[in-house]
Copies of this chain bind each other. A is one copy, B any other.
Amino acid sequence: MFDYKLLAALAAVVEQAGFERAAQVLGLSQSAVSQRIKLLEARVGQPVLVRATPPTATEIGRRLLNHVQQVRLLERDLQDQVPALDEGGAPERLRIALNADSLATWWAPAVGEFCAEQRVLLDLLVEDQEVGLKRMRAGEVAGCVCAAERPLAGARSLALGAMRYRALASPAFIARHFPNGVAAQELARVPAIVFGPDDQLQHRYLAALGVAGGFAHHLCPSSEGFVRLACAGFGWGLVPELQVEQALASGALQEMLPGQPLDVPLYWHHWRNGGELMATLTRHLQRAARAWLVAPAD
């Protein structure tokens, strides 16, 4: 069998983003952690880590991390029956990647009860909804919420429903730029707010309206900051309906083109051999997400 002391050292260095913190978590000296990594590399016959800041796994390192994620979940199932097997007694950690807008809206209320009941600690990684699967392929997470449907080899994907986005701006912004009402064709002439270089929502929204070409925009890589910028009149942008119920009700934000939302379907990805905990979480998510997400548009 594999030497899991070595694999645990690899996982700790990547998850803690450094040798020093990995050593703290493992209760070892930093040089002991280094030695375990070197020993692992000697056995594997090639490097498992790129020594950068932070250290990252090599291709073979990723495959090992992937394996560690799955073994941890399987161990957990067994522990319920054979508790003495647990070495450190540390609480269970589940690493999950998800898009910022899910984290800013439905994720916590949907899984809060599950985590309290199962005594699970979450390590959440925020990734753009188009690229979240990368973290799973890299063996860094046990599951992932993202907009891509196609599962990785060895994994499954489950349609959760869609986030409904609405194009919003502050009343002052609308009054300043569109005193005679918002015309779809004019939207590209006023500043937008965009989450980051990978965020294509505003582009897709304009394209669907038949508006081509670029547009001026602020870049704001924070869900909460995005809403604050919109409320303060910086620009218009697509915001999850779930996040702005109050702001819409109070009139702090207004819809630019009423009745023209954009739905982004979301999928839950998890390893097929993820064990009972992941199976329970998957069943829970399938049920809970319905209360927050809408059925995907055809």
B221 lies within 8 A of A125 (CB): yes
A21 lies within 8 A of B197 (CB): yes
Given that A197-B16, A197-B17 are known contacts, is A234 also in contact with B103, CB under 8 Å in the complex?
no
Q: What is the distance, in angstroms, from A158's C-beta to the closest C-beta of chain B?
A: 21
Answer yes or no: A28 CB below 8 A from chain B CBs: no
A100 (CB) vs chain B CBs: closest residue: B222
Task: From B124, B214, B222, B231, give the contact of A104 (CB < 8 A).
Answer: B222
Answer yes or no: A181 CB below 8 A from chain B CBs: no
Q: What is the distance, in angstroms, from A13's C-beta to the closest C-beta of chain B?
A: 12
Q: What is the distance, in angstroms, from A23's C-beta to the closest C-beta of chain B?
A: 13
B224 lies within 8 A of A224 (CB): yes
Please give, as numbers and ranges, the residues of chain B lying within 8 Å of A100 by CB-CB distance.
222, 225
Please give, as numbers and ranges, the residues of chain B lying within 8 Å of A251 by CB-CB distance.
none
Please give, as numbers and ranges, the residues of chain B lying within 8 Å of A233 by CB-CB distance.
112-113, 116
Q: Name A's B-contacting residues (CB within 8 A).
A: 16-18, 21, 24, 91, 100, 103-105, 107-109, 111-113, 115-116, 121-126, 176, 191, 197, 214, 216-225, 228-229, 231-234, 243
Beyond known contacts A100-B225, A108-B228, A115-B234: 8 more, CB 8 A cutoff:
A91-B191, A104-B224, A108-B234, A111-B232, A121-B218, A124-B218, A124-B222, A222-B223
